[in-house]
Amino acid sequence: MNSTNRRLNFRLTTSKVFEYVIALFAFIITIPLFAIIFYVLKTGLSKLSWHFITNIPKPVGELGGGIANALLGSLLIVLVAAIIAVPIGILCGVYLSENKNSKLAYWSRLAVDVMQGTPSIVIGIVIYFWIVKPSGSFSALSGSIALAIMMLPIVIRSTEETLKLLPETLKEAGYALGLPYHKVIFRVIIPNGVSGILSGVMLAIARVAGETAPLLFTAFGNPYVNANILRPMQSLPLLIFNYATSPYDEWHDLAWGASLILLIWVLLLNITTKLITRRWKVQS
């Protein structure tokens, strides 16, 4: 009797101990995240000022200077990427959710998986040969196209997943009123799935806003302010990469300030997306 009890106690204790070990290991991930956020805040916060976001970097040895060129560049490159990727992505998502079992949908889905699995640096190489080389110069537009290819899978997937959840009766009601197919899509289906689609779009933007690798051989970088998308353009991640790997302390400071701005941008997008999906959840 006593030995059975002891055996039972042993089993219960190991179970409990294991639960604590799992909890411990699970929460260790918070340490690097907070360490990074804390470090970026500590080093970047002192740099932030109006001067910092309205001036371009100064040459080595001079104090001050800002990241206006990179900030403007990042906004423009990501905006153009979104203009390219969002309509195509949503329409492709519509096709996939409307034609779930067609052969084309199967292969198209596979193609989207291939795009999603492609390393970002490889997309940079490919766009170099598609756009940069034929046009003869690095350009922000080629960078935007590279980022658009990275955004597509995210937008397509989230659109498809959202629209799948909408009840068939919604569409039937539209048809019963005599609406043509495209109006059913644009007036009934897409507005009803807008929160899911929007959150996919914002996640995609957050994802590509921090991408550096596809821009190395496309947007290339530019030490001056430039708003022409057919010319090389600086972006926040490119600036961080170039200045962080340089040996100069002034440039490291600039890179930390830029890191803080980029981090705030990306985290805010992620948090807003969460709030949107929580507020307007699609009812299945």
Integer Cα distance of 230 and 124 in angstroms:
17
- 284 touches another protein by CB under 8 A: no
For residues 155-174, which are near another protein according to CB under 8 A? 156
Q: Are 190 and 98 in contact, with CB atoms under 8 Å apart? A: no
Look at residue 47 and give its three-state secondary structure: coil
Which is nearer to another protein, 6 or 11 (by Cβ)? 11
Tell me how far apart the alpha carbons of residues 138 and 71 are, in angstroms, rounded to a whole number. 18
Q: Judged by CB under 8 A, which of 2, 3, 5, 26 binds another protein?
A: 26
Of residues 87 through 126, those in contact with another protein by CB under 8 A are 88, 91-92, 94-96, 98-99, 104-105, 107-108, 110-126
Q: Which residues of 147-184 are buried (b: 16+ CB within 10 A; e: fewer)?
A: bbbbbbbbbbbbbbbbbbebeeeebeebeeeebeeeeb
| Contact status, residue 278 vs residue 253, Cβ threshold 8 Å | no
Sole binder of another protein in the list 140, 141, 150, 152 (CB under 8 A): 152
Q: How far is the CB of 25 from another protein (least distance, A)?
A: 3
39 binds another protein per the rule CB under 8 A: yes
Of 7, 12, 135, 173, which lies in the binding site for another protein, with binding defined by CB under 8 A? 12
The binder of another protein chosen from 59, 62, 134, 182 (CB under 8 A): 182
**Residue 220, strand partner residues:** 233
Among 46, 64, 83, 181, binds another protein (CB under 8 A): 181
Minimum gap (Å) between residue 267 Cβ and another protein: 6
Nearest distance from residue 281's CB to another protein, in Å? Answer: 15
Q: How many residues bind another protein (CB under 8 A)?
A: 85
Exactly one of 77, 84, 185, 229 binds another protein (CB under 8 A); that residue is: 185
Quick count: other Cβ atoms within 10 Å of Cβ 79?
13
Question: Please, which residue, 81 or 92, has the CB nearer to another protein?
Answer: 92
Tell me how crowded residue 231 is: count the other CB atoms within 10 A of its CB.
16
Question: CA-to-CA distance for 266 and 151, rounded, in angstroms?
Answer: 15
Query: Within 10 A of 242 (CB to CB), how many other CB atoms are there?
Result: 19
Segments in the chain forming alpha helices (H): 2-27, 30-44, 50-54, 68-98, 103-117, 120-127, 133-135, 140-164, 168-176, 181-183, 190-192, 194-209, 236-244, 249-279
Residues of this chain, 189-218, that bind another protein according to CB under 8 A: 206-207, 209-213, 216-217
| Binding segment toward another protein, per CB under 8 A, in 59-67, 163-171, 226-234, 241-249 | 241-249
Question: Out of 57, 65, 73, 237, which residue is the one contacting another protein (CB under 8 A)?
Answer: 237
Q: Footprint of another protein on residues 43-82 (CB under 8 A)?
A: none
Nearer to another protein, 113 or 172 (CB): 113
- Cα gap 143→138, rounded to integer Å: 9
